[in-house]
Amino acid sequence: MLYYLFTFLDKAYNVPGAGLFQFISFRAAMATIFSLFFALIYGKRIINYLRAKQIGETVRELGLEGQMAKTGTPTMGGLIILGAILIPTLLFAKILNIYILLMLFVTIWLGLIGFLDDYIKVFRKNKEGLAGRFKIMGQVVAGLVIGSVLYFHPGIVIRERFPEKKMVVKVKSETLTAFEQVKDHNKRFKTTPVKSTKTTIPFFKNNEFDYAVLLKWTGDDYRKYAWLIFIPFVIFIITAISNGANLTDGMDGLATGTSAIIAITLGLLAWVSGNIVFADYLNIMYIPNTGELVVFISALLGACVGFLWYNSYPAQVFMGDTGSLALGGIIAALAIMIRKELLIPVLCGIFIAENLSVVIQVSYFKYSRKRTGEGKRIFLMAPLHHHYQKKGYPEPKIVMRFLIIGIALALVSIITLKIR
């Protein structure tokens, strides 16, 4: 909202400094600062309120060291994260941008589903919370909305370069800087906005993949039915990563720290994808208007870091499903919007590993019980972080090592911009 206000003041009254709001970098920095201070200042008040109302975590006895000491720790702290994301975004982003509107939707929608789950656990004294099928339904709805809008909305396009002439002009790199070379290159190429279901394949040269190609066998009109592939894939990604973040939220600071690392990486990828100069220089897909997502991601980063102040070991508050479901959905939606969803197995490797550990554990237990009459386990306990806790590793050590792995995965994700 402030963007529109200061744009008006700049044009109508030439107010000094109002033009700063035209720059994404300035608004992103302001969103980070505002989000961080909101989480730190109002977060404390929210924690005190949750403690006063005895809205605490009920921990089931699982035989883990230090587990019962967490009983009674305030939960539903995801409200801090949601507030620290939504308020700065509304203040500093172009809220009429279609990508921002979609991110506001997925944040609020999955936040409400998580809140309902926490509400049932805390106030209805039902440790199972919201039934799994209803969580899945909510995630499917989020994926359906995101996928449908990305596919059908006329304002969501990519820009492809087509040479105006067949003549090739050679430029000596010794005489021109990188940016001058890009400008010279753009003079000889025109960019055309097109609707497309293309995405980026990491580690490969000429690394664009079109979902529509999977339907090529249906005939010449196969592109008309690309949504039959694209939308279900979006639903799958949002559901998987949202659940992965939820499963990762089992140790103090683990899900929050991992999400912060992923947010920084997505912010960089969104920035270069939404900037025509950098996109052309790096030879990656240019996606108009996605640069505005940097403001949202900056608010997300500030929210995670601010919440980590209270969520680090020993945690003063837990985010609960209110925060974890929303964080996973946000990360998945962001990756899809900047056409980097195929990078998720690397970037979100921690979430994927936590998810797979549960799937493998449950599947093998059922299989072995059917074959031998006695269920067997591969891990001492799932999700994966509890396996190492069962092996005797202290919780802070497990969290720190997972975060180090998360940083390494983030660096690998970033260098895919050049390694192909």
pLDDT, tens only, 221-264: 888 899 999 999 999 999 999 999 999 998 999 999 999 999 99
Render 313-333 in DSSP notation, one character per residue. Answer: SSPS---HHHHHHHHHHHHHH
Q: Which two tokens stand for residue 296?
A: 């949202």
Helices 98-123 + 78-92 axis angle, to 10: 160
User: How many CB atoms within 10 Å of residue 201?
Assistant: 15
Give the integer Cα–Cα distance in Å for 222 and 219: 6
How confident is the model at residue 174, as a pLDDT? 43
Identify the DSSP state of 201: P
For residue 250, which phi and psi values (nearest 5 degrees)?
-130, -5
Contact between residue 217 and residue 363 where contact means Cβ atoms under 8 Å apart: no
Residue pLDDT, tens place only, 169-204 = 444 444 445 445 545 555 544 567 888 899 999 888
Which residues pair with residue 163 across a beta bridge?
A: 189
Is the pLDDT reported for residue 122 higher than 80? yes
Is the pLDDT reported for residue 138 higher than 50? yes
**Alpha carbon of residue 241 to chain centroid:** 8
How confident is the model at residue 58, as a pLDDT? 63
Is the pLDDT reported for residue 164 higher than 80? no
